[in-house]
């Protein structure tokens, strides 16, 4: 299925890049960006989980605290709990990718039961295309952030 290939390309590209990062840079703050690289990585994980694993039988497999850390309306300056390590986020992203790849063709052809925030999204396959696009955009932002932060 093409959307799944597109997603896997985006996720593998993200994982390949962030595996080369160190814990220090993922938490560096910059006046140029609202949040840190760690927040952006966690936000990718959280949003994919929230949008693809909405039913009880598919249930979310990430820590419930991730919503307190990585929701779109949360800033790292709001954090009251310790964020997961980069290694843990990478493991969670890999496990999530495996779970996403286990969905069958029927799931990807089925309609989403909510209005998605971007574009004309009807099926879970459409949703996956949007999430892969978003993930690629976020990877671009993370790369730009690293470039800026390396100067500091």
Q: Could you report the per-residue pLDDT of 110-140, keeping only the tens digit for each?
A: 988 877 666 688 999 999 999 999 999 999 9
Kindly state the percentage of the chain with pLDDT values over 70: 93
Q: CATH number of the domain at 2-151, please?
A: 1.20.120.450
13: helix, strand or coil: helix
Cβ atoms of 61 and 96 within 8 Å: the answer is: yes
pLDDT digits (tens, 9 = 90+) for 20-41: 999 899 999 998 999 999 999 9
CA-to-CA distance for 122 and 111, rounded, in angstroms? 5
The full set of domain ranges for the chain reads 2-151
């Amino acid at each position: 299925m093409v959307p799944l290939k597109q997603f896997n390309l985006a996720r593998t590209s993200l994982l390949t890049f962030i595996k080369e990062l160190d814990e220090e840079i993922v938490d560096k703050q910059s006046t140029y960006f609202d949040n840190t690289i760690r927040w952006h990585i966690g936000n990718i994980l959280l949003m994919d989980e929230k949008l693809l694993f909405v039913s009880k039988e598919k249930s979310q497999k990430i820590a419930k605290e991730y919503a307190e850390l990585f929701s779109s309306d949360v800033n790292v300056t709001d954090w009251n709990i310790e964020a997961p390590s980069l290694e843990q986020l990478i493991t969670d992203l890999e496990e999530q990718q495996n779970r996403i790849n286990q969905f069958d063709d029927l799931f990807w052809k089925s309609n989403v039961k909510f209005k998605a925030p971007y574009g004309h999204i009807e099926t879970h396959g459409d949703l996956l295309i949007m999430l892969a696009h978003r993930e690629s955009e976020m990877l671009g932002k993370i790369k730009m952030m690293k470039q800026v932060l390396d100067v500091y």
